[in-house]
Amino acid sequence: MANLQTTYLGLPLKSPLVASSSPLTYELDNLRRLEEAGAGAVVLYSLFEEQIELAEMGFSDYYRQHDQELPEALRHIANMKEYNQGAGSYLAHLYQAKQALTIPVIGSLNGYYSSGWTRYARLMEAAGADALELNIYYLPTKAHVTGSEVEQMYIDLVRDVTASVRIPVSVKLSPYFSAMANMARRLVGAGANGLVLFNRFYQPDFDIANRAIVPSLDLSVSSELRLRLRWVALLSDQIDADLAITGGIHTAEDAIKGLMAGANVVMMASALIQNGIDHLAIVARDLDQWLDQYAYNSVSDVRGLLSHAQIGDSAALERANYLNVLRTARRQDNK
């Protein structure tokens, strides 16, 4: 059997397969099953910035009938009791998860601004979190807000959180920055120990019959992996931080691609929601078998084999790929 051990955020992991933040991590029984299936670590479901603000204001038991008592900026908040039980219960769940598992437990904060982040980051650390994942979700819809202002907001938030805790911190990013490599370097300079590429923002749909905007959940597919592979391969030799891929990891082949790009770990959520927690064990088994079949002794033997540093030809990851795809499409069209 191949050695599947790796490290992420300075933490030793028995496997590069990590269960990422999702409703599956809400139940302790699910967390135990994820560990038994071979997860190297788990990222808990997110505590949302809006919930932190409500708790800070004394509205931790908020219900919709009290929404007029809140500032306008907080009146959009759904009743999150179906997803989690608020800030206090989140910390209790984190503590219980640490008692129940032997693998690392990573807490997740979702938001973009609140000063409450630093306090709850410290509370998560006190509750036993081995690391934190900052899931920064900000949509700059105002025309006067510049890209540099958005980037600085990210940098300031990461610097404040990393300065307030001793445990490692990763940042879950969107792919929408105009200069991704520079932004990655700046985030690491601000204290991030790792980057998670990329966040899958859920886009609303339009209900044309009822003239309404409705939430929409689309699970990932393996083809979404390509964007992640490209950027991890380009960044792995440019920044001094660990890299995780999330979005599109469904099979052992997907996981191997992520590792070859240079990722320390690959994260799974949609595949487990779609196929069940036991699917993780199948991926772990297939990953082990693939490594044995191709005579690799460990995960570290394949990590980075297709990264920019190893292939030495950035053209394959940059503009030349675009031209080659067009040329291939033309050939197929002429057949």
pLDDT at position 73, please? 44
| 49-53, 76-80, 97-101, 137-141, range with the lowest pLDDT | 76-80
Region 137-157: mean pLDDT is: 88
Q: Which residues, in sequence order, are CB contacts of 288 under 8 Å at separation 6+?
A: 1, 2, 4
DSSP letter (8 states) at residue 298: B
Region 11-30: mean pLDDT is: 96
Please determine, for residue 317, whether its predicted confidence score (pLDDT) is greater than 70. no
CA angle 199, 78, 44 (to 5 degrees): 45
Please determine, for residue 118, whether its predicted confidence score (pLDDT) is greater than 90. no
pLDDT at position 214, please? 82
The strand pairing partners of 170, in sequence order, are 133, 194
Question: Could you tell me how many residues make up the chain?
Answer: 335
What's this model's pTM, rounded to 2 decimal places?
0.85
314: amino acid identity, one letter: S
